[in-house]
């Protein structure tokens, strides 16, 4: 058990694992990944996460509504999330946050690339409408993020934060919650300065298989230099399979590869990384509720 690891971010309720989840969890156990947190991305996904956590002793659930699901989200997501959070297998709120990667204006721009050019006035009108939709989309994401942060404060739970192409706005939403709720920036891919910005507010970061990618040198450097007790490890499976499994389905067992890569970059043993990240995860997530 000295090399025990925790996959702090997985999506076991996704269809990718529907046919062989027990085998997946067995491989995780063999790789010393003793706990897996499966993350809700919608109300239904959060319910499925809890069902999995109730069925498998090594699985725990985080519940939340992902920012990219904001368009189809119910008007009231907090009431069902509050009810779901009463389950002792729930260890965090999330994932929640901001994601500006696919804005309405970008969709319009892509459509224009494949369409015959129309009148300039028509183009301008489309762009203005798209920018208005962008603003509404961002505003709705921010509101959903704040609501889930408020719920986390109310329940005394920490938060799994998703941030993509929205750094400044994410930090702006989070700052008022300093000393009220702690977050982990999952799948961290930012700079060392951004990592320090997160740590200075007493939040954490978490690293995925990106640390093994050829183009992941910058993230590897961050993982090599930040304080040992300020980060965790994850897979974000079924996404981001580490080398040498690129292009294949990622799974919790690959947490070990992430940890080994970070250990090599820091010039320390796997045991040291496993001990530190496991203790950090045990302090951050409410496993003792289960």
Domains of the chain (ranges; CATH) run 5-289 (3.20.20.140)
In DSSP terms, 237 is beta-bridged to 10
- What DSSP state is assigned to residue 224? H
User: Which of 193, 230, 252 is CA-nearest to residue 52?
Assistant: 252
The pLDDT of 94-114, averaged and rounded, is 73
Helix, strand, coil percentages for the chain (3-state, nearest 5):
50, 15, 30
CA 7 remoteness from chain centre? 11
Contact 65, 151 (CB under 8 A): no
pLDDT score, position 2: 61
What pLDDT sits at residue 106?
A: 65
Q: Residues 38-60: pLDDT tens digits? A: 999 999 999 999 999 999 999 99
Condensed to tens digits (0 to 9), the pLDDT of residues 197-235 reads 999 999 999 999 999 999 999 999 999 999 999 999 999
What band does 134 get if pLDDT is binned at 50, 70 and 90? confident
Q: Which residue in this structure is represented by tokens 């904001």?
A: 70
Residue 158: asked if its preceding bond is cis (omega within 30°), the reply is: no
3-state secondary structure of 290: coil
Structure confidence at residue 104 (pLDDT): 74
Q: What is the CA radius of gyration of the chain?
A: 19
Q: Region 86-94: what's the mean pLDDT?
A: 97
pLDDT at position 115: 52
Cα–Cα distance, 117 to 52 (Å, whole number): 50
**Is residue 284 helix, strand or coil?**
helix
Query: Whole-angstrom Cα distance, residue 57 to residue 89?
Result: 9
Q: What's residue 114's pLDDT?
A: 46
Q: Are 77 and 65 in contact (CB under 8 A)?
A: yes
- For residues 226 and 253, the answer to whether their CB atoms sit within 8 Å is no
């Amino acid at each position: 058990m000295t090399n025990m690891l925790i996959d702090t971010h997985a999506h076991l309720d996704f269809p990718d694992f529907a046919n062989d989840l027990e085998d997946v969890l067995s491989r995780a156990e063999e790789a010393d990944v003793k706990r897996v947190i499966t993350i809700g991305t919608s109300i239904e996904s959060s319910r499925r996460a809890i069902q999995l956590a109730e069925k498998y002793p090594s699985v725990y659930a985080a519940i939340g509504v992902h920012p990219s699901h904001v368009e189809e989200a119910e008007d009231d997501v907090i009431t069902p999330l509050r009810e779901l959070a009463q389950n002792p297998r729930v260890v965090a709120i999330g994932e929640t946050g901001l994601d500006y990667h696919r804005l309405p204006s970008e969709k319009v721009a892509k459509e224009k690339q494949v369409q015959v050019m129309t009148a300039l006035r028509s183009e301008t009108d489309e762009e203005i409408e798209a920018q208005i939709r962008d603003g509404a989309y961002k505003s709705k994401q921010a509101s959903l993020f704040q609501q889930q942060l408020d719920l986390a404060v109310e329940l005394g739970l920490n938060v799994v934060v998703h941030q993509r192409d929205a750094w400044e706005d994410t930090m702006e939403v989070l700052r008022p919650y300093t000393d009220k709720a702690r977050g982990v920036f999952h799948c961290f891919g930012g700079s060392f300065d951004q990592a320090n910005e997160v740590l200075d507010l007493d939040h954490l970061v978490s690293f995925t298989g990106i640390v093994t990618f050829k183009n992941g040198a910058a993230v590897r450097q961050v993982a090599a230099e930040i304080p040992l007790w300020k980060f965790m490890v994850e897979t974000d499976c079924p996404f981001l399979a580490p080398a040498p499994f690129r292009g294949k389905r990622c799974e919790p067992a690959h947490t070990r590869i992430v940890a080994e890569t970070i250990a090599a970059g820091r010039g320390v043993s796997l045991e040291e990384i496993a001990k530190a990240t496991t203790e950090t995860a045990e302090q951050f997530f409410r496993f003792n509720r289960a």
